[in-house]
């Protein structure tokens, strides 16, 4: 009789167990969603702080924690595992693999097909282009590989003709450059004293050269100083012009000085002295026609305006140098102008603007 109440209580407790477990699970679910909600709010707040972006990238995103079909872990059923080998599933797997291989092979062949189509379209467009179509057919008595030169040139497009120089051999390019250098050069006439050098009967050990000149049986020693950058200037302009020195000094003095400037006799091609000048107002003017009758192709650089009094539109003035400024750059300043003048048809069309 005493056992029956105990059994009844046990049966009642057993009956209440599923309901109690449901309540615990429900409380856990509510707590879980509350934590997810707080985590979402905190995550959204931290996203507004720039320097925490790298930290947040390592944390799970809130929407990844809960899905629309959320189910507690305790209630999730384990995924079924295949108990035995299925021949039909193996055949299906092989069929899928074959389809994948076929798609991969097709994707690899697609670029080759595209290149072939482009090549064929380029060939057809080239055949129909008026620029690439020969204007004349080769004579029938010539072999196919001996097309006339006129037809070959006509078959080139303007762009191909422009780019044909890029395919020339180094020897052809060098020959073209040599032909350009050997083309007729203009004449550059340079004054000597106070333009290229300065000399004085009184000097010091810093002089570049000393010259003993005998005039009327009287010996005189001169100290010669080169103008800054004169060696580089002469090397440069000798590549562009036929360089001539025209001075109002006597040959007995000027010849040794010119030898100092051009010791190998490769830069200066002509020398003119006082006897070639024209007397003018107790000084000397320089008639450029004595050097080159074509005055459109000759330039005179001189520190004295009286020197180009006869040919004012051919003169380029330069500041006199008397060994006073070791940092003088007047010769270097002339190089851009001289470089441009060598390409003009008439140098006077440019130099005459100085007189306007």
pLDDT of the chain, 356 residues: tens digit per residue: 444 554 545 555 555 455 555 565 555 566 777 787 787 888 777 777 776 777 777 677 766 665 554 444 444 444 455 444 444 454 455 555 555 555 555 655 555 555 565 555 544 544 444 434 444 444 444 444 444 443 444 344 433 444 444 456 667 666 665 555 556 899 999 999 999 999 988 877 677 788 888 877 888 888 999 999 999 999 999 999 999 999 999 999 999 999 999 999 999 999 999 999 999 888 899 999 999 999 999 999 999 999 999 999 999 999 999 988 889 999 999 999 999 999 999 999 999 998 87
Residues forming the active site? 191, 193
What φ, ψ does residue 130 adopt, rounded to 5°?
-70, -20
The continuous run of DSSP H or E covering 316 comes out as strand 315-317
Which value, in Å, is the radius of gyration of the alpha carbons in the chain?
Answer: 49
The overall pTM is greater than 0.75: no
Starting at the earlier edge strand, list the strands of the sheet with 209-215: 197-200, 218-226, 209-215
Domains of the chain with CATH codes: 187-355 (3.40.50.1000)
Can you tell me the distance from the alpha carbon of 256 to that of 212, in angstroms, rounded to the nearest whole number?
A: 9
């Amino acid at each position: 009789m005493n056992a029956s109440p105990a059994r009844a209580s046990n049966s009642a407790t057993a009956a209440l167990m599923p309901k109690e477990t449901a309540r615990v699970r429900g409380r856990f679910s509510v707590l879980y969603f509350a934590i997810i909600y707080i985590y979402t709010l905190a995550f959204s707040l931290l996203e507004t702080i720039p320097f925490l972006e790298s930290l947040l990238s390592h944390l799970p995103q809130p929407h990844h924690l809960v899905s629309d079909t959320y189910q507690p872990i305790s209630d999730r059923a384990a995924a079924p595992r295949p108990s035995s080998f299925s021949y039909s599933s193996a055949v299906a797997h092989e069929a899928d693999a074959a389809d994948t291989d076929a798609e991969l092979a097709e994707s690899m062949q697609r670029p080759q097909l595209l290149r072939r189509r482009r090549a064929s379209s380029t060939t057809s467009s080239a055949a129909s282009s008026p620029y690439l179509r020969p204007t004349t057919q080769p004579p029938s008595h010539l072999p196919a590989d001996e097309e006339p030169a006129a037809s070959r040139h006509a078959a080139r497009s303007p762009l191909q003709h422009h780019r044909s120089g890029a395919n020339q051999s180094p020897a052809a390019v060098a020959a073209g450059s040599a032909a350009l250098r050997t083309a007729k050069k203009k004449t550059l006439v340079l004054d000597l004293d106070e333009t290229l050098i300065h000399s004085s009967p009184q000097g010091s050990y810093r002089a570049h050269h000393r010259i003993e000149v005998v005039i009327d049986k009287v010996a005189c020693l001169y100290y010669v100083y080169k103008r800054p950058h004169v060696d580089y200037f002469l090397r440069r302009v000798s590549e562009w012009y036929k360089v001539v020195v025209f001075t109002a000094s006597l040959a007995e003095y000027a010849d040794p000085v010119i030898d100092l400037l051009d010791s190998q006799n490769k830069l200066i091609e002509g020398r003119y002295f006082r006897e070639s000048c024209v007397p003018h107002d107790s000084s000397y003017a320089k008639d450029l026609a004595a050097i080159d009758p074509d005055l459109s192709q000759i330039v005179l650089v001189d520190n004295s305006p009286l020197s180009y009094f006869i040919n004012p539109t051919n003169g380029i003035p330069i500041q006199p140098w008397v060994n006073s400024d070791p940092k003088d750059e007047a010769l270097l300043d002339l190089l851009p102008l001289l470089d441009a003048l060598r390409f003009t048809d008439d140098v006077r069309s440019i130099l005459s603007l100085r007189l306007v």
